Structure 1
């Protein structure tokens, strides 16, 4: 681990923006031969989407919709001095939803994910309240915005877990997604605080769980369950424990000289190329542990694995950016990212809010 907590916080946020932008061109190529025919055998920089592909119309170095929403979250956190759910929801109502039409190929970045389309339909078309629009998508969209919450509350696990669970429930209401999102946030928070991504990374969060420091019930954006109200808490507690263990297990595997994935981008073939969190998170943890001091190799192996490589690279960028800090991110990635200076200033403003 390098740098100060402030530097690591900015590194995590900028790493996420960079990883997301790197995926704009080669996003969702499940046929790797087609990916190689289009972009060569190794993608090593920002690329422009091909005509007819996802995100067509963007240019190399631009962020798509996940980056747009992450920036909304960052601005809300900075301007409200912490997580203010009403403010975040108002920003989504005012700045994102008017740009959508409920179809996949719409909105910022020219593609809208399933969970956000579902939220738009219930919120705009059906005029439901925010607590009643979350859907069942098992993808990582909520993690891609709540990673900023994990950075902001890295030193405050109770506030972090409650805020992540609440924000996740806005668009993805399953108990599994709430727990897995909190688990990922715990791991990222430990990295921002200076812990290494190794087989011990889960120890402190597991102690938080044992001490009820992660007791994030009730989730205030959801109506209480009418029957057996204690069941959701048990479910969350069980699943978040598993989510924490998997990070340690995979980090330990990455350090084991007898267990190697060569080349490392093939981790996507091992854990799966699709969008669900159970494909994305194991691959992200493996790459972030394998290349814990090499941001460039981490995000490029994430991208070159194909499939849902944009989310994979965004999560990896945050995890490794938190380990190397802003100073450990190659200047060419920072320089090639559109609006990089403005995003760095925003990330720095958030980092200054983190308690010493």
Structure 2
């Protein structure tokens, strides 16, 4: 059984993701910040009801979106199977989620279904394709939002983490760059769960895992990104991903957060700096920045993620998991847990997952 501090960080990561998801339910996808402030005031500081004409209309403050629903399915599968089992997870999607969908956006748990999941539904239900044929070119973070639980489960086993996240990501997204960035996020989260901080040294730790053959990225430089010397052999290819650049982003964002000459004030404006849209290359830099800047302040991290508008739900899920892994569940303000619907059940799931880590 893992030690108490590691268990606390595991529970913090999982609950951080659920909290981030639910916090954005009301103010989700406001790309006009004036409209966001008009409907929710100058600062959103808790769970809110969605407006009748918005994406999650009919839901209530503290409930989860469909992203949270799928994350719940993933955690239950990991617990039941004592690890990632593609067949079990896919069966849960087929039998639990897909009967609630009809292929349209405004449908299903959370009252909204993302494009990548709608594509999989059409391929599975209408076209009768196998799960090996379902991946699309969506460049979004839906895979991260569920595979973060895989990263938690295999936080001490980076090679298994990378393999399982790759396999699961390909169910919905086939672009190799998206897959690489999804695996990189999982690797970052795993180090935070081990007790590392999202700082300027984290990427070097990730690169050491690459050189040790634990993460499937190709690398051509020597330590600290030094250029190859004359006569150096070409390093052996460590895996399927062409470049380790996705592993460098976290520490660059940490450096930006620590640099007194770089000012993003207030911090929610990180969404303007890196972009409000859904694409993974907008979302990850913002989440890494907030999780590095507020590494010991869960409330500030997730609320700045929410108040930045745009695809703030993905930003808050990713930021919530990264920051929760650093603070632990014990340092997440109680109100975020108490006001989250079915929080007792969700904490129990997080606890059961924590005890399964080897």
TM-score range, shorter chain: over 0.9
After TM superposition, the structure 1 = structure 2 runs for residues 4-23 of structure 1, keeping only pairs within 5 Å, are 4-23=5-24
User: Offset of 1:236 from its aligned partner?
Assistant: 4.3
TM superposition score normalised by structure 2: 0.92
After TM superposition, the structure 1 = structure 2 runs for residues 86-165 of structure 1, keeping only pairs within 5 Å, are 86-165=87-166
Which of 242, 258, 267 is matched with 1:255 structurally? 258
TM superposition score normalised by structure 1: 0.93
Structure 2 unaligned blocks of 5 or more: 219-236
State how far apart, in whole Å, the 1-side matches of 2:204 and 2:217 are. Answer: 19
Q: Could you say what secondary structure the match of 2:241 adopts? A: helix
User: Offset of 1:288 from its aligned partner?
Assistant: 0.5
State how far apart, in whole Å, the 1-side matches of 2:193 and 2:268 are. Answer: 25
User: Offset of 1:212 from its aligned partner?
Assistant: 2.0
Is 2:288 the partner of 1:295?
no
State how far apart, in whole Å, the 2-side matches of 1:246 and 1:351 are. Answer: 27
Deviations 1:26-70 (A, max 9, x none): 000000000000000000000000011001011000001000000
Q: Could you say what secondary structure the match of 1:4 adopts? A: helix
Q: State whether residues 303 and 312 of structure 1, in contact with CA within 8 Å, keep that contact through their aligned partners in structure 2.
A: yes
Is 2:344 the partner of 1:341?
yes
Deviations 1:328-353 (A, max 9, x none): 10000000100001000011000001
Deviations 1:96-144 (A, max 9, x none): 0111111111110010001100100101110000000110000000000
After TM superposition, the structure 1 = structure 2 runs for residues 35-54 of structure 1, keeping only pairs within 5 Å, are 35-54=36-55
State how far apart, in whole Å, the 2-side matches of 1:208 and 1:236 are. Answer: 15
Residue in 2 that maps onto 1:73: 74
Q: CA RMSD in A?
A: 1.4
Structure 1 stretches of at least 4 aligned residues deviating more than 4 Å after TM superposition? 233-236
State how far apart, in whole Å, the 1-side matches of 2:332 and 2:181 are. Answer: 27
Structure 1 unaligned blocks of 5 or more: 218-232
User: Offset of 1:147 from its aligned partner?
Assistant: 0.2
User: Offset of 1:214 from its aligned partner?
Assistant: 2.0
Which of 312, 318, 328 is matched with 2:315 structurally? 312
State how far apart, in whole Å, the 1-side matches of 2:116 and 2:211 are. Answer: 32
Q: State whether residues 46 and 336 of structure 2, in contact with CA within 8 Å, keep that contact through their aligned partners in structure 1.
A: yes
